[in-house]
Structure formats: C-alpha cells, structure tokens
Structure 1
Amino acid sequence: MHVPDGFINAPVSAACGVVAAGAVAVSLRGARRELDEKTAPLAGLVAAFIFAVQMLNFPVAAGTSGHLLGGALAVILVGPYTGVLCVSVVLLMQGVLFADGGLTALGVNITDMAVVTTVVAYLVFRGLVKVLPRGRRSVTVSAFVASLLSVPAAAVAFTLIYSLGGTTDVSIGKVATAMIGVHVLIGIGEAAITALTVGAVIAVRPDLVHGARGLTTPLKLRVGGELVDAPAATPSPAAARSPRKVWAIGLVTSLVLAGFVSFYASADPDGLEKVAHDKGIDKKAEEHASSDSPLADYGVKDITNSRLSGGLAGVIGVGVTVVAGTGVFWVLRRRRTASEAGPAAVPETEKV
C-alpha cells in the first residue's frame, strides 16, 4: 500500500506530513517508557523482520497480490509507540533506498501504514485480551483479529486521504469499494502471518511479547478465611535469559526471507497498485526521486542475474534496517536510563 508521488496533491501531502511528524514525535517520547534492556534490541529486529516479510507478496485474487503492513505485528511484540517507530523506520528505508513509496508521500505512508494500522490494531487487541480468558491462546487470537481489521482500516484511511487530495477525478465510492474489498483479503494473509509470528515468540519467550504482559492471573491464597494474592513468584529461567538467541534466530530468518524466499514472491501488483490502475487514479503518478538509487525496485544496479540482484538487495535492506532501527531504539533506551538516574547519577563531588 505504498503511495507513490503524484497520487495526493501537495497541500494534503504536507498536512499528512505534519500528522506523521507529530505521531513520530509522540512515539519517540512514549517509546522511552516501553523500551528496556530486552525490547530495545528486539525492536530493531522487528523493523528488519517487517521489511523482509513485506518483500513476500502473496496472491489474494486474480492478478492481485498483497503483503504484510506490519503495524499489528509491531504493536503486539514491542508496544504501540515503539510499533509506530518500527514501521516508520521501514517506510523511510524503503522510500530512500529502494524507491518504494514516494518521498513527497512519506507523510501519507507513515500516517496510513504506521499510525492508522498500529492505533486500530492496538485498540482491537487490548479490547479483546480484556474480555477473553487470560492465556497465550487469547493473545494469539487477539493478534489475528487485530491484524485482520487493521488492513482494511488502512484502506479506508487512504480513501479518505484521496477524497481530500486525490489528483485525478475518480468516483470515491468506487475507490472505497475496490480498496476495502481487496484489502479485506490481504488482511487475512496479514492476520495469519502476525498470529503465527506472535505465537512462535510466545511459545519460546513469552516475556518478550509486549502484548502478553500482565495476562497471568495472580495466584490466590486463603488466609484467615479471606483470599489474598500469593507472594510474587521467582522469575522463570526463561525470563532471566538474554534475548540474544531469539534476536539471532530472528535476524537469520529475516535474511533468509529477504535474500532467498523473496525470489518466489508473487509478481502481481499489490492491492493499491491494482486499484490505482483499474480505477485510473495513477494517471498523474510521478517518477520516484530515488529511481536512480543503486537499490531501486529491490535490485542491485548492474547485477544482471535477477535472483542474485533481488536477494542481495533484500539482505542489504534487512541489514540497513536492523542497524538503523536498533540504533534509534538504543538511543531512546539510553536516554530513559539517564533520565531515571537523574541527579543521583552525578557524583557527590560534582554536586558541591
């Protein structure tokens, strides 16, 4: 659903840019409260994994494909604020390095794919885990439903943005019907990927899943005829372990998906591209400002072998994204640590 340059006019693109900048600013502050010594490195990995899986277009209808948006996955694994930042990092890398998603439309893409998907997914997810029985299965089911609904929500958001700033005269009703229809199908694929990923992480390290925190029912003891909370249990060995093994497995998986599996992804246009072509809203699409990038269109320039070119571009993309994402989240984590230390971190000799 990457919106290219020329789909949305300058005033609305600028307005979306302001919304996106505000959302990122709020998320930078909020992420400092979400990140700890475990989630900081994993957040960068989540961004890289989303980048990798977005290269795996899957067929959803005749001549149409879809790919993961990633907002729901990010918000469940690392939290709402950090989730917005994860998807924003991916969109920035894709726009600047791979000519995927217009640079003047970056605000539109962040608003639609990073903000709308995470907000909708978070609200649905939190609502479901409150009413469903506590447990890991409830987290996975909630992740599936939240992901499923977040994708058509993004399609609705794009339609609203296009109704305000579309550069072609097309019936908004037809655009809405086509966009929502195809993205409901894409949402099913997104939901399956998200639920499988969240379920896999919960199975080995539930302590690393942000959406699974606080879902364990406290043990009650009867004392003097009254029920009281049992003393907190000693953290399990799994919770005490470093997340390095999970991080390494996740990184290798991302590299394999982007470097090898992506070659077998569907070549059909994605939902937005298909609707844009069929309804004529791509008539004023502009050439990407980074079209001459060495990695444009997910291929390495001057490498003629398509398998090698695409695979190498995918590996580079995963590497750049994990470095950029991890760097951002480590900085936020260090700032949180510094702010929590406060004056106590200053030696007594310097306080005098």
Structure 2
Amino acid sequence: MTSKIFKKESAIVEDSRALLARPELFADAEAREGFSRLLEAYEKQMRSTQKLLRLSDRNEAQLNELARDLEGKNSRLEELSDKLSRYLAPQIYKAIFEGAQDVSLATRRKKLTVFFSDLKGFTETSETLQPEALTYLLNDYFSEMSTIAIDHGATIDKFIGDAMLMFFGDPHSDGDRADAAKCVRMAVRMQQRMKDLRARWRNEGFERPFSMRIGINTGYCNVGNFGSTKRMDYTIIGAEVNLAARLESQADPDGILMSYETYALVRDFVETEERSAMRVKGIAREIRPFAVTNIYDPDLSRRSFIRKERYGLKLLADLERLQGEDRRQAIAELEEVIHDLKTLPESGRPVAGDETS
C-alpha cells in the first residue's frame, strides 16, 4: 500500500538522480552540489514518511484486530449480562449496573408494601401430577405473574416453592400511598389472570388447577443485602414481612387479604369486607384484616380470557392473543354463528324465507 502511495515521488527521485548524472546540465559544481543536497533531503523525508505510513498501517491492522476482539467480548458480556438479569429483580439489576446500588452487606429500614402469595392445595394437587406437568404449570404460573409484577413496578424478591414474595418502595418509591395502590392493583390483576389461566389449564386437561391466595401489608422492614461477602441476597426481613405471609394464609382462595395499614392507603378505590381481628407473633398491635371484594378501576374490570361451556356450546377465547387479522376473523366467525343461532329454530330447520349456510 505504501509503495503505491509513493509511486509519483519515487519517479521524481529517479528522474532527479538521472539529472545529477549529467554535469553539463548544471551551471557549475556548486549548483550541482546544491541540487544533490536538496535531493538527498527529499529522499530522507520520503523514507521517513514511508516509515510512518508503514507503522500507521500496522497500527491500523492492530486496532482493527483489537476492535473485533472488543466487539466479541462485548457481545459475550451482553449475553452473560442478559443471563444474569434473569436472577435479579429488574430494578436491582439496573441499579447495580448503573452504579446506584452497592454490592456490599448493608441494610436500611424503609416503609414498604409487602406482597405474599401461594397456591391453595398445591401439595395435594402436585401429588396427582407427573413432574413434567407440575413443572409446566408452575413455570406458566410464575411467568404470567412475573410479567404482571414487572408491569406494575414490583421488586420481585424470591420464589419459595409455590409462593412469591414481592414488595414496593425500594429501590425506588413513588410514595407510600402510590406504592400501596400499585401493589393492590397488581394483586387484583393477578387474580383476574388466574381465572384465565385456570380456564386454559382445564381446557388442556388439568382437572384441578390451582387457586391463589394473596396477603398484603404496609410497614417498616429491613431491606438490603443479607448474607456473606462471598454470597449475598437482596431481600427484606422483619415482622411486617411475616404479617403479609400470615394474612395470605388467612385469605380466601382466589382472595386478597390486607392489613389496615394498607387498606388506609387504598380505601379510595377498593371495596372491602373487614374480617375478624387477629394476633401475630412479633407484632404488639391487634391486626385488622380487610378482604378486597371490588375495585373501582375500569382498566382492571376487563377480562382477557373467556371460557363458556354448556350443552351444545363450547367457547374458549384468549383476547390478549387475538390481535389484528386474527381478531377480525374471530369477530366474523362469531357473527356468523350468532346469525345461525338467530335464524335456526330449535328443530334445527331454517326459518321460512331465510337462507343459512
């Protein structure tokens, strides 16, 4: 590459040397000596420039090789980072990689709204299922609930068997009232989705699908990194966490039971039924539980999964999956069925004067 760049200059040098070989072209010896020194300086400059260019070519090749190596390492790092993110709550993962969260053994007390849930009858139902079927149901359940949790901004603490522990208020908080509201809306959305999942699971052949119970409490907890310098866990502990678990154990199947501390923050948009007071170990105050019976939120009143079955009718529709052209075709097919139902008498013969397919 360097020789090509200096082709013109090399020709000039050769021509100049040919001129020096002809003394008669110069006025005197001094003029010829001056031209010789000038040519020598020119050649020296050209050699120096060629050397720099060769060095530049080598550096460019090395830089290109380093860039390719760096690109490969970045790709592997992104892949590893993506895998690691599956083991951490999105908020914690983001806080650590942005430098906002220290990876050290440190905790603090904060007011959090704590969510605890489990599946009623899990042990009994799991005994009747093959391990593959149980794994499928649990993974399906956790995947659906995690999606809802992340959509509402929950920090997913851990999965414990069939139970889930989540909280609102750390590492980011929108304020006590907003945190509690997001938690309750999330819980209602989860119970709604569980109805859809049970309908789907029954349609797939599972005779006794699970029911979920949820307990919610708002109070001060210790939150942060617990464990050792070699292995730590970002989690929450304290009596208020235990209270959320106790409330869950007292909740109705498919129900949500919350403490008065949470109820006081969300009473403007939920309808509740107060249950009998109870005592919890580690908490001096009497606990007043409230069961959620209704929520005044149009966005949460919509169902995404419809299952209707009676003699002569079987309807199963997943509204979230029916999008675009699939939804338009489904509407057309349902309208055709409705038309047939309206025009066919109970005997099954068409009404006089009407044509049916």
What TM-score do you get using the length of structure 1 for normalisation? 0.22
* Structure possessing the higher radius of gyration over alpha carbons: 2
Higher relative contact order, structure no. (Cα contacts within 8 Å, ≥ 6 residues apart)? 1
Higher strand share: 2
What TM-score do you get using the length of structure 2 for normalisation? 0.22
